[in-house]
Chains A and B, each alone.
Chain A
């Protein structure tokens, strides 16, 4: 089955860019998602990309997809303290919106 991997932790300074990386194994995954989880809350959908796209930009967020390497990244420009959270990458498994999630990357933003 699908396996999705992320690094566990990333620390950046306020105002810098953050890049969170994700790899997946199933080349037939058609949609890839990024979710954000703030402390004590559920997951909030940030953005998603279809597998025939290379890039998607939405305000401060840029998603890059390298389908050949099965590598997905989320870039947050001008990172703010409010961006401190856990970020989850998820890949569709082709069955009615069923998703496989990574372990999550905890982003810490320092002053």
Chain B
């Protein structure tokens, strides 16, 4: 069974802090994704990665960066957290190929005070 693990379920940080959200998958998936989920807006793609050290901007990359040093781990970084980044963050992974579904972690609910 596919397992995508996000390091924290709930996180509270202060404005201006540098925040790291971690995601690990155990299925040797090539692709990994970071989304944020807000009421009424669905899921919006922040960044994704096709391979180690590869990254591509999604629809809303501003204020975020990512790191993929190992195949199983994909980190989302908020360089200087702001209150409008309070949200639910979801990580997903998949094999390469257009017919491969994404598998999701349980999410991290991040609050920026």
B-binding residues in A (CB < 8 A)? 4, 8, 30-31, 33, 35, 40-45, 48, 50, 88, 92, 94-99, 101-104
Contacts and interface: CB of A to CB of B under 8 A. Distances in A.
A100 to B, nearest CB: 8
A4 B97 CA distance: 21
Interface stretch (B11-19, B73-81, B104-112): B104-112
Nearest to B93: A97
Q: Which 4 A-B pairs have the closest CB atoms?
A: A42-B104, A103-B42, A101-B43, A43-B104
B95 A97 contact: yes
Interface residues on B, range: 20 to 34
11 contacts: A8-B40, A35-B104, A42-B104, A43-B43, A45-B102, A95-B98, A96-B96, A97-B31, A97-B97, A97-B98, A101-B42
A50 B98 CA distance: 11
B104 A97 contact: no
Interface string B22-52: 0000000011010100001111010010100
B62 interface: no
Interface string B68-106: 000000000000000000000010101111111111111
A48 B48 contact: no
